[in-house]
């Protein structure tokens, strides 16, 4: 069974996430275990402080290294982690190939940053991999950690059923997914493309492939190397 541990300053943000939807299903089916840990558990002093002023001055607070290091050491004393991943905007942008590779691992530890970020020494000493979820800045790493966890867990065998197979989604074949339709066949004067109702599986495949290519060329030519 895959295990994902998430270190967070605001674990409440993730409590609904780990119980609901795909991730909840994976847990209930015994396919993945996901644990969220509060950095304040190893906070300093009476107020369980986890942040402090930045050396060199400037705005914002920085996560102190000790609470993060203690959590990492604690978890590492119980099992070996394949990767210790820090979610941060100053990193390469996450992509499907990386997610596919992570879905083959056993134990992952994901660190959600907060405030201005994480003391660089933690990144230097413990973190083995860093991902951004896009070129914009959020206030905390919880949503990015949830994004990565969801993307991984939905790939684990047995989580999705056939109708929602991950293999036909965008990016798995390097293209955007084709348009999808369901009933009714006519909605407010708009018809479902007849080929999809033809029962001709070859023609349907060809139509989907052509739509995928056209859409990718129009919206994401970078995926085609154009």
- Interface positions with ligand SAH (CB under 6 A): 87-90, 112-114, 116-118, 132-134, 136-141, 144
- Measured CA to CA in angstroms, residue 60 lies from 68, 112, 122 at distances of 18, 17, 18
Q: Dig out the tokens for 200 from the structure.
A: 């001709």
By beta-carbon proximity to ligand SAH, the closer residue of 87 and 151 is 87
By beta-carbon proximity to ligand SAH, the closer residue of 26 and 51 is 51
Counting Cα atoms < 13 Å in the Cβ hemisphere of 186 gives 2
Q: How far is the CB of 77 from ligand SAH (least distance, A)?
A: 24
Counting Cα atoms < 13 Å in the Cβ hemisphere of 67 gives 26
Q: How far is the CB of 16 from ligand SAH (least distance, A)?
A: 19
Q: How far is the CB of 59 from ligand SAH (least distance, A)?
A: 10
Q: How far is the CB of 115 from ligand SAH (least distance, A)?
A: 6
Give the strand pairing for 2-8 and 32-38: parallel
Q: How far is the CB of 201 from ligand SAH (least distance, A)?
A: 40
- Answer whether 157's CB lies under 8 Å from 102's CB: no
By beta-carbon proximity to ligand SAH, the closer residue of 103 and 133 is 133
Radius of gyration of the chain (CA): 21
Name the packing angle between helices 12-19 and 21-28 (round to 10°): 70
Q: What backbone phi and psi angles, to 5 degrees, belong to 8?
A: -145, 150
By beta-carbon proximity to ligand SAH, the closer residue of 98 and 138 is 138
Q: How far is the CB of 219 from ligand SAH (least distance, A)?
A: 21
CA dihedral 120, 81, 9, 59 (to 10 degrees): 10
By beta-carbon proximity to ligand SAH, the closer residue of 67 and 89 is 89
By beta-carbon proximity to ligand SAH, the closer residue of 41 and 130 is 130
**Residue 139 DSSP symbol:** S
By beta-carbon proximity to ligand SAH, the closer residue of 43 and 141 is 141
Q: How far is the CB of 51 from ligand SAH (least distance, A)?
A: 11
Q: Which residue is nearest to ligand SAH (CB)?
A: 113
Q: Residue 148's closest CA among 135, 162, 134, 127?
A: 134
């Amino acid at each position: 069974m895959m295990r994902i541990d998430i270190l967070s300053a605001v674990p409440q943000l993730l409590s609904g996430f780990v119980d609901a939807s795909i991730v909840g299903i994976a847990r209930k089916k015994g396919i993945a275990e996901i644990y969220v840990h509060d950095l304040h558990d190893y906070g300093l002093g009476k107020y369980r402080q986890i942040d402090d002023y930045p050396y060199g001055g400037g705005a914002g607070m920085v996560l102190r290294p000790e609470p993060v290091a203690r959590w990492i050491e604690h978890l590492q004393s119980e099992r070996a982690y394949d990767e210790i991943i820090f979610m941060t905007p100053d990193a390469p942008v996450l992509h499907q190939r990386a997610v596919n590779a992570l879905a083959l691992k056993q134990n992952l530890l994901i660190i959600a940053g907060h405030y201005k970020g994480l003391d660089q020494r933690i990144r230097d000493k413990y973190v083995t991999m860093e991902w951004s979820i896009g070129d914009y800045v959020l206030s905390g790493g919880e949503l990015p950690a949830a994004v990565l966890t969801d993307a991984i867990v939905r790939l684990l065998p047995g989580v999705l059923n056939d109708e929602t197979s991950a293999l036909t989604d965008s990016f798995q074949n390097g293209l955007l997914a084709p348009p999808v339709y369901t009933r009714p066949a006519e909605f407010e004067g708009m018809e479902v493309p007849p080929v999809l109702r033809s029962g001709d599986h070859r023609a349907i495949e060809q139509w989907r492939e052509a739509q995928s290519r056209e859409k990718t060329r129009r919206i994401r030519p970078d995926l085609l190397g154009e």
